[in-house]
Amino acid sequence: MNTNGGVAVLEPVRVETRTITYREAVREAIREAMRQDERVFLMGEDVGRYGGCFAVSMGLLEEFGPERIRDTPLSESAFTGAGIGAALNGMRPIVEIMTCNFSLLAADQIVNNAATLLHMSGGLFNVPIVIRMSTGGGKQLAAQHSHSWEGWYAHVPGLKVLIPATVEDARGMLQPALEDPDPVLIFENSLLYTRKAELPINPKSVDIKKAKVHREGTDLTIITFGASLYKALDAADLLADAGVSAEVIDLRVLRPLDDATYINSIAKTHRALIVDEGWRSVGMSAEISARIMEQAFYELDAPVERVAGVEVPMPYAKHLEQAAMPQVETIMAAAKQMLGI
């Protein structure tokens, strides 16, 4: 505190920061959780000696050993089931599945076991498991490695579904997920692993119940999640040059959805555009649109619009892959059409 002419002036608190990648943020979160709680362990394909398919767990085997960084066979159903068993017996497993496409091989374990056991046991058995997986296209990995299944899992009662878009959320979502007594699925878009941001040296956990307004606006609400957040923000910047004030919301949590944040925004802007990399039919964009119609119909000055993935298996060819996904240009075009400009 300084004094200026006898008046006390509070100096801003300086927070020491560093620049890290999304990948490093996830690794750091895992390392911190394992240091704090000996019940936490990581298991999955190539998480140990190889360092993870996306290099997230690089170096953790050397620090924690093979008992807590466990390489598994190529059997998603088997090791996800083993993780559920460990959770039922008091451990706090983090199960890594390479891509969400491969999680379909473990869907029986996730949907029929992890999500239902609390209900089927009459409230006696919680399943405190965290399952991490990559999602999304854009890396020319073709249809069997590039789809977005987070909307499928958001359909299932008994699961919590998180999709961190920012380095901050990648770092801060894991600890509250591990503290949750029930299954939590974390979808990490593979395009984001190299994205960088500044974070405090000692970052805090983040709220895994709330959406986040990343940009405030008055003319249009753009609702999105995952890697599409950055396309929406870029589109909002370009729309601003055309005199359009767009509010951009990152949902962050797909189950349970934070309706209040986007409904309050629509009450201000009176227009809603939903951007979802997943397919349009029976997807997240359809669910959010339905909720807007149910809760905010009379706030709307125009129909809800959606920009979603084209309904084809994800192409391998780069130009076709890009055409199959929402892009800045398609988001802008939809927004301008809504506004009649």
pLDDT tens digits for 251-267?
A: 999 999 999 999 999 99
Domains, the chain, ranges and CATH?
A: 17-200 (3.40.50.970), 212-339 (3.40.50.920)
Nearby residues of 267 by Cβ (< 8 Å), 6 or more positions away: 296, 299
pLDDT at 42 over 70: yes
Which amino acid would we find at residue 133?
A: M
User: How far is residue 6 CA from its own chain's centroid?
Assistant: 50
Over range 127-147, report the average pLDDT.
93
Question: Contact, 275 vs 228, CB < 8 A?
Answer: yes
Model pLDDT, residue 11? 65
pTM given for the model: 0.94
Query: Is the confidence at residue 7, as pLDDT, over 80?
Result: no
What number is the average pLDDT over the span 234-239? 98
* Element of type H or E holding 179: helix 174-179
What is the pLDDT confidence band of residue 51, given thresholds at 50, 70 and 90? very high
Local confidence band at 9 (pLDDT 50, 70, 90 cut-offs): low
What pLDDT does 204 receive? 85
The arithmetic mean of pLDDT across residues 159-182, rounded, is 97
**pLDDT over 60 (residue 3):** no
Give the Å distances, CA to CA, from 316 to 7, 97, 146. Answer: 66, 22, 9
- In the prediction, which pLDDT does 249 show? 98
Distance of CA 278 to the CA centre of its chain: 13
Q: What's the pLDDT tens digit per position in 291-301?
A: 999 999 999 99
Which H or E run contains 71?
strand 69-71
Torsion angle of C-alpha atoms 175, 63, 24, 53, degrees rounded to 10: -100
Q: What is the mean pLDDT of the chain?
A: 95
**Of the listed 76, 168, 247, 305, which one is catalytic?**
76
- 25 has pLDDT over 90: yes
Q: Band of the pLDDT at 140, cuts 50, 70, 90? A: confident
Which pLDDT does position 8 carry in this prediction? 63
**According to the model, what pLDDT value does residue 1 have?**
53
Cα–Cα distances in angstroms (integers) from residue 149 to residues 47, 74, 133, in the given order: 22, 20, 10
Task: Look up tokens 């391998």; give the residue.
Answer: 316
Over residues 56-79, the pLDDT tens digits come to: 999 999 999 999 999 999 999 999
Q: Does residue 338 have a pLDDT over 80?
A: yes
Written as one letter, the residue type at 276 is D
Kindly give, in sequence order, each residue whose CB lies less than 8 Å from that of residue 273, ignoring residues fewer than 6 positions away: 220, 221, 222, 223, 304, 305, 306, 307, 331, 334, 335, 338
Q: Is the pLDDT of residue 339 over 90?
A: yes
Contact 243, 217 (CB under 8 A): no
Q: Which amino acid is at 42?
A: L
Which of 217, 161, 218, 154 has its CA nearest to residue 188?
Answer: 161
Residue 265 near residue 297 (C-beta atoms within 8 A): no
Q: Which helix (H) or strand (E) holds 275?
A: strand 272-279
6 pLDDT above the threshold of 90: no
95 HSE (CA, 13 A, CB side): 33
- Told to judge if 76 belongs to the known catalytic residues of this protein, a careful annotator would answer yes
- With bands split at pLDDT 50, 70 and 90, how would you rate the model's confidence at 205? confident
Q: What pLDDT is attached to residue 4?
A: 58
Mean pLDDT is lowest, of 50-54, 200-204, 231-235, for: 200-204
- Alpha-carbon distances, residue 234 vs 10, 136, 206, 215, 325 (angstroms): 36, 19, 24, 11, 15
* Confidence band of 202 (pLDDT split at 50, 70, 90): confident
Which residue among the candidates 24, 45, 96, 145 is catalytic per the annotation?
A: 145
Q: Phi and psi for 42 in degrees, rounded to 5?
A: -115, 135
Find out whether 60 and 82 touch, Cβ atoms under 8 Å.
no
Instruction: Summarize the confidence of residues 156-176 as an average pLDDT.
Output: 97
314 by DSSP, 3-state: which?
coil
Query: How many CA within 13 A on the CB side of residue 271?
Result: 22
Q: With the CA atoms of 214, 216, 222 and 223 taken in that order, what torsion angle do they form, in degrees rounded to the nearest 10?
A: 50
Residue 18 clears pLDDT 70, i.e. is over it: yes
Query: Would you state the pLDDT for residue 319?
Result: 96
231, 137 in Cβ contact below 8 A? no
Cβ-based neighbours of 63, under 8 Å, separated by 6 or more: 31
pLDDT in the model for residue 231: 98
